[in-house]
Structure 1
C-alpha cells in the first residue's frame, strides 16, 4: 500500500540544505506586503473594504518556471502550506482560506498534488470593529521544489485601507472552484470500517471520463488519487486510498472537502459529512 512521506521529514531534509536561506527570508519579509527569493515571489493584496465589516484579500504566489508548490493535501510527498494570521494583525478575523484547484504531478515515483504555475490564495476576513482601522499580517510557510525542496517562510503585512487592488483580488476569487453548496455534484462520502479507503459519490452529469477528485480533511488525514472509478446508474463512485491518518482513527474523520476537476472546470464541496461503512 502506498503511504505518505511525513511532511516533518521533508521539511527537516530541506532545512538541512537551506536553513540559512530560510531564516534570511523570514527576516527580510517582515513588515512588507511582498517577499522574493529563489523560485518564488509572494505578494499580499487587499480589496477596498467599503462600509461593511467584510474584507477580501489574496496571497499571490508567483512561481518561477520549473518550480512547484503544494496543495493543502500534498499527496504522497510534499510540504503542505501553512498560512494564517500573525499576532501583528489588528481588528481582523480570518473566516476562510481558499485555494484554486490543484493538479497532480510525479516526483521520484511519488504522486503529489499542487501547482506548477503562479496561483493566488483567496482570503476572506471580517473586521471585529467595523468602524475602526485594521492591519493584516500573514504568516506563510510554503514548500517549493525544483531540483531540491526548499521551505520558504515569510511574514507579510498591509493596511487594508491603504493601497488596494480590487481587480487582482477579484481575479483570485474568480479562479476558485465553483461551490457545490447544495451537494448536487458531490453527494456523499463514506469511509471503510478499517479506515483504508474513502469513497465519494458524484452525480454522473458532473463527472466525465477524465474527471479527477482531490480530497482533504483536517487533523492529519491524507488521501491518494482515485484508485477506482465505478459508474452505476446516475452516479460515479470514486474510491481513494487513505495514505495517512491520525492515531485517533475513524472517530476523528467527520467531514471532508472535495474538488472535482474535469478539464478546465472545477467544483468544490465543503464540509461533506463522512459516513462509516459497515464491516
Structure 2
C-alpha cells in the first residue's frame, strides 16, 4: 500500500509538471532567458514572467538604464501585455560610465490578457554586459491553453517574482514632492524613507520618451531626504496625469515605488 501511494504521488507530480507552460531557455554567453506562464484565470488574465538567468559577473539593465544601456523590451503575440514589473534596481558601473540595472539573476513578472487559447510568443530584446555588452534577441513561446491547473513549481516562481517588486507607499516611506529645475534639466525629489541604514538610492522613470540619469548624492533635510535627478531627455509634449513619473527608492533591503507629483 505504501509503494502504491508513492507511485500515485509520483504520477500526479509528473502529470502536473507535464502541464507546465515554460519555454526552452535561450542561451547566450552572458545569460539565458525563458518565458513562464500560468493558465488563464476566468477573466482571461494570465500571470507570467520573463526569467533572466545572468551568468557570474554579467549585468543587465532596468527599464530606464540612466542614459547608458539597452532597456528591456517585450512584445507579445497571442495575448495582450498589460503590465511589466521591475524589481528595484542598483546603480552599477563606475564614476565614468554608470548605469542602472541588475547584477544578479532577475525575474520580471508580466500580466497578460487573452480572449482565447493558443500559443503565447514573447519577442524579447535586452542587453547583457560584462567587459563588453551583448544585445540579446529571443523569441520565446509557451502554450498554456490546454492547462487546467498551474504547475506548483512555476506558480511559486511567479509568486516570488511578484513579491520581489517594490512595495507601495507606507508610513515613513513615501514621496513628498517633485520639482522641475528652471532649465528643465533636473528634478528635485523629496521623500521619506527608513533612515536606520545607508543613504537611500533614488531612481526615476517615465514613459519611453523620458530619460533620467543617475541621481546625485542624497542628502537629509530634517525628516526628509532630497536628491537631484538629471533629466537626459524631456519630450515637448507629455501628460503626467495619464502617464506619471515613477519614483523608486531602495533603502537597504526595503524598496518603495510610487507615482511622483511634479510641480
TM-score of Structure 1 vs Structure 2, range by shorter chain: 0.7 to 0.9
What does 1:1-279 align with in structure 2 at a 5 Å threshold?
Answer: 32-85=23-76, 89-90=77-78, 92-106=79-93, 109-127=96-114, 129=115, 132-161=116-145, 162=147, 164=151, 165-180=154-169, 185-205=174-194, 209-246=198-235, 248=236, 251-252=237-238, 254=240, 255-269=244-258, 271-275=259-263
Query: Cα distance, 1:51 vs. partner?
Result: 2.9
SS at 2:62 equivalent = strand
TM-score normalised to the size of structure 1? Answer: 0.75
d(CA) in 2 for partners of 1:273, 1:177:
18
- Residues 107 and 157 from structure 1, CA distance in 2 versus in 1: closer, same or farther, beyond 3 angstroms? farther
Q: Which stretches of structure 1, 4 residues or longer, exceed 4 Å deviation after superposition?
A: 181-184, 204-209
8 Å CA contact 2:90, 2:100 repeated in 1 = yes
Question: Structure 2: which 5+ residue stretches go unaligned?
Answer: 1-21
SS at 1:72 equivalent = coil
SS at 1:173 equivalent = helix
Moved more, 199-208 or 209-218: 199-208
8 Å CA contact 2:193, 2:251 repeated in 1 = no
Moved more, 107-116 or 61-70: 107-116
d(CA) in 1 for partners of 2:193, 2:131:
40
8 Å CA contact 2:34, 2:52 repeated in 1 = yes
RMSD: 2.6
d(CA) in 2 for partners of 1:184, 1:116:
25
d(CA) in 2 for partners of 1:230, 1:145:
31
Deviations 1:193-224 (A, max 9, x none): 31111122212557854211111111432222
- Larger radius of gyration between Structure 1 and Structure 2: 2
Query: Cα distance, 1:187 vs. partner?
Result: 3.0
Query: Cα distance, 1:107 vs. partner?
Result: 5.0
Query: Cα distance, 1:245 vs. partner?
Result: 3.2
TM-score normalised to the size of structure 2? Answer: 0.79
8 Å CA contact 1:253, 1:274 repeated in 2 = no
